[in-house]
């Protein structure tokens, strides 16, 4: 046990001595998560609007005055349809509204009128939402007597803030990536520095060495998780915690071992840190992709849905979402724990065997 502790301590000291690594870990657990949370905004906001008004004002201006921040920029007047369409083709304007010269007349005479809208729909999501905003504005303006009352509740994330979700998903991806890279790096650095043979000669059980090395990196990752959850998730984004924080840390701990297991495998097959980086990225991307971090799993192709059962990150993300947002009770989390622990032990055992052969 004493040997184990001193081996762990050695690795942690070595980690803090390589300032480059410390900087990368700190960056990933703070700024990187912050940028992902604050920067990636997919809800349509600040949409650029242009309009051509052939009616001579009045009604059209009243409608336009309802287009305002944060959804829309101030509508820009264009003198002709050609100007408007040129601006859309140059992608300077996303929504073009045309008030036909008959617009006001039709509305007065037939109680019915039509607005032509040109939409740059290259950004499909934003243009779809822009159209919905416009539709709602026009409906409101028409003051139709709605026969039913519609009460819409958004569960779990009532304000539909992308940032909280993105920040959390990014943190989980960072944990995965660093868990793999850091673990692989402690072994490969010994290979690169030529201290591998010294390690082989030490009168310590190789199993203990492997365990101590992975455990030390898991500790470092867990330190990063605490920093990221405390400073970025709670501090910067006010992520709610509806479940038990302890459960989240426990799940993260198991998950860190899972990614360390992948790291052991990477370490066994690579000779240099460069190969570690390449391999980790190649392994990580499908893992993250299949986890449901970007697209809900049931929206994927059926084949990919089955494959995603093999991604430990899937259980980790669903579990963390349930803990933070849905507030699922600890007893109901067992399936996520089971998924992470099961896949984790398989991966860890495989990596352990693989690197163990080198001793």
Q: Which of residues 125-144 bind another protein (CB under 8 A)?
A: 125-129, 131-132, 134-136, 138-139, 141-144
CB of 127 to another protein, least distance (A): 7
Nearer to another protein, 229 or 291 (CB): 291
268 CB-near residues (< 8 Å, 6+ apart): 187, 351, 354, 355, 357, 358
The residue within the footprint of another protein, chosen from 161, 244, 305, 345 (CB under 8 A), is 161
For residue 312, with 0-12 CB atoms within 10 Å meaning exposed, 13-18 middle and 19 or more buried, which class applies?
buried
**Window 242-281: residues binding another protein (CB under 8 A):** 272-274, 276-278, 281
| 326 touching another protein, by CB under 8 A | yes
Nearer to another protein, 76 or 211 (CB): 76
With contacts defined by CB under 8 A, how many residues of the chain interact with another protein? 98
CB of 160 to another protein, least distance (A): 4
**Mask 76-105, x = binds another protein (CB under 8 A)?**
------------xxxxxxx-----------
Helices (H), 18-58: 19-27, 33-39
The residue within the footprint of another protein, chosen from 26, 77, 160, 246 (CB under 8 A), is 160
For tokens 């084949």, the residue is 303
227 CB-near residues (< 8 Å, 6+ apart): 26, 29, 30
CB of 182 to another protein, least distance (A): 12
**Window 163-182: residues binding another protein (CB under 8 A):** 165
CB of 23 to another protein, least distance (A): 9
Q: What is the CA radius of gyration of the chain?
A: 28
Distances (CA, A) of 35 to 164, 176, 218, 230: 12, 18, 24, 16
Spatial separation of the C-alpha atoms in residues 72 and 63, rounded to whole Å = 13
Give the DSSP H/E element, type plus range, for residue 217: helix 206-227
Instruction: State the Cα torsion 125-131-133-137 to the nearest 10°.
Output: 180
For residues 78 and 104, is the Cβ–Cβ distance under 8 A? no
The residue within the footprint of another protein, chosen from 3, 12, 119, 231 (CB under 8 A), is 119
Nearer to another protein, 138 or 231 (CB): 138
| 236 touching another protein, by CB under 8 A | no
The residue within the footprint of another protein, chosen from 116, 205, 238, 306 (CB under 8 A), is 116
Residue 99, φ and ψ in degrees, nearest 5 = -95, 110
**Window 295-324: residues binding another protein (CB under 8 A):** 295-296, 298-301, 304, 318, 321
Distances (CA, A) of 19 to 15, 134, 214, 306: 8, 53, 20, 41
**Window 28-47: residues binding another protein (CB under 8 A):** 32, 35, 39-47
């Amino acid at each position: 046990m004493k040997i184990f502790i001193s081996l762990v301590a050695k690795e942690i000291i070595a980690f803090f001595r390589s300032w480059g690594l410390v900087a990368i870990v700190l960056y990933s657990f703070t700024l990187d998560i912050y940028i992902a949370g604050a920067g990636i905004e997919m809800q349509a906001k600040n949409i650029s609007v242009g309009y051509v008004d052939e009616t001579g004002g009045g009604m059209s201006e009243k409608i336009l005055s309802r287009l305002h921040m944060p959804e829309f920029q101030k509508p820009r007047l264009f003198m002709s349809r050609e100007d408007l369409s040129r601006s859309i083709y140059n992608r300077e304007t996303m929504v073009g509204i045309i008030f036909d010269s008959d617009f006001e007349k039709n509305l007065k005479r037939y109680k019915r009128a039509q607005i032509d809208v040109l939409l740059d729909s290259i950004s499909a999501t934003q243009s779809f939402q822009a159209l919905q905003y416009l539709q709602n504005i026009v409906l409101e303006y028409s003051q139709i007597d709605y026969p039913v009352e519609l009460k819409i509740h958004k569960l779990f994330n009532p304000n539909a803030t992308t940032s909280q979700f993105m920040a959390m998903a990014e943190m989980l991806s960072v944990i995965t990536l660093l868990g793999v890279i850091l673990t692989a790096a402690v072994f490969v650095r010994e290979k690169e520095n030529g201290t591998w043979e010294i390690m082989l000669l030490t009168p310590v059980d190789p199993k203990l060495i492997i365990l101590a090395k992975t455990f030390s990196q898991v500790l470092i990752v867990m330190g990063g998780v605490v920093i990221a959850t405390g400073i970025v998730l709670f501090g910067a984004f006010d992520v709610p915690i509806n479940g038990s924080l302890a459960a989240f840390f426990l799940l993260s701990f198991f998950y860190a071992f899972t990614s360390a297991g992948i790291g052991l495998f990477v370490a066994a097959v690579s000779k240099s840190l460069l190969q570690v980086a390449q391999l980790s990225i190649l392994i990580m991307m499908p893992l993250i992709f299949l986890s449901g971090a970007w697209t809900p799993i049931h929206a994927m192709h059926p084949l990919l849905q089955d494959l995603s059962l093999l991604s430990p990150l899937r259980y980790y993300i669903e579990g963390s979402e349930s803990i933070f947002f849905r507030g699922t009770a600890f007893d109901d989390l067992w399936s996520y724990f089971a998924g992470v622990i099961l896949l984790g032990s398989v991966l860890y055992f495989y990596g352990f065997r693989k690197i163990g052969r080198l001793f």
